[in-house]
Amino acid sequence: FARPLIWFILRGVLAISCAIIQGSLISALGSAVSPLVARYALLAFICSPGHVLASSPLLPSSTFMQLSMLVWTLWLRNRCALAVGVAVFATVATNWPFAALLFVPFMLDVFLAKGIVWSVVWGLLWGAHVTAPVVLVDYVFYGRWLASPLNIAMYNTGIGAGESAAGRSVLYGVESWHYYATNLLLNFHVWVPLAAL
């Protein structure tokens, strides 16, 4: 296959998988919450350019977006053990550890519904199953033992860098809060003020 063809096939597969996951989430919202909420969610997905554009690129953030929608779908369908596994996989395998904050409400609900012991046991089981292959792959390719999600977190926080931490995390640039507010409004326009209500 020619490279451009492979690129288009990959983008198509990712877009189709995103559409399937979104459809599952909307169906779960309709069953667990209400059909009206499901219709609003569908409208928000369709009308948000940022969400549409993020559905097909092979990027950690796009992959995390799809996996996080799958986590919320599983949670709405009371499949907590699998939802915990997908949440751990989304955080570790995509090397996007900061986005795990999105799962805080989910984990609080799991703690309350299933108890601390159940949550810790399943979290550790899934963590071991997901982290071990990631660390092994990192070892094969980098020649030393490391955990990429931990390295990314340490890089961006400056932890463990000693005196050289100052300025390390600005290598690729740092934007002001205005950039993020503008980006949010551009990508989700009318839904931002509605969500604030």
pLDDT, residue 100, reads 87
Domain residue ranges of the chain, discontinuous segments joined by +: 78-166
Query: What pLDDT digit, counting tens, does each position of 11-21 carry?
Result: 999 999 999 99
Query: What pLDDT digit, counting tens, does each position of 163-194 carry?
Result: 555 555 666 667 788 888 898 898 888 888 88
Mean pLDDT within 121-129: 92
User: CA gyration radius for the chain?
Assistant: 19
pLDDT for residue 112 is more than 90 = yes
Q: Look-up: residue for tokens 């199953």?
A: 129
Positive or negative, the Cα torsion across 67, 155, 140, 13? positive
pLDDT for residue 160 is more than 80 = no
pTM: 0.84
Calpha distance 42→150 (Å, rounded): 35
Helix 148-157 with 116-142: angle, nearest 10 deg: 90
- In the chain, the percentage of residues whose pLDDT exceeds 70 is 92
- The set of residues, in sequence order, having a beta carbon less than 8 Å from that of 97 and lying 6+ positions away, is 91, 149, 150, 152, 153
pLDDT, residue 148, reads 82
Higher-confidence residue of 134 and 79: namely 79
pLDDT, residue 34, reads 96
pLDDT, residue 147, reads 82
pLDDT for residue 133 is more than 70 = yes
pLDDT for residue 77 is more than 90 = yes
CA dihedral 6, 9, 10, 13 (to 10 degrees): -160
pLDDT for residue 45 is more than 80 = yes
pLDDT, residue 195, reads 84
Least confident range from 5-14, 22-31, 118-127, 173-182: namely: 173-182
pLDDT for residue 87 is more than 70 = yes
**Average pLDDT value for the chain:** 88
For residue 97 the two structure tokens come to 């550890």
Mean pLDDT within 108-116: 93
Least confident range from 47-61, 121-135, 162-176: namely: 162-176
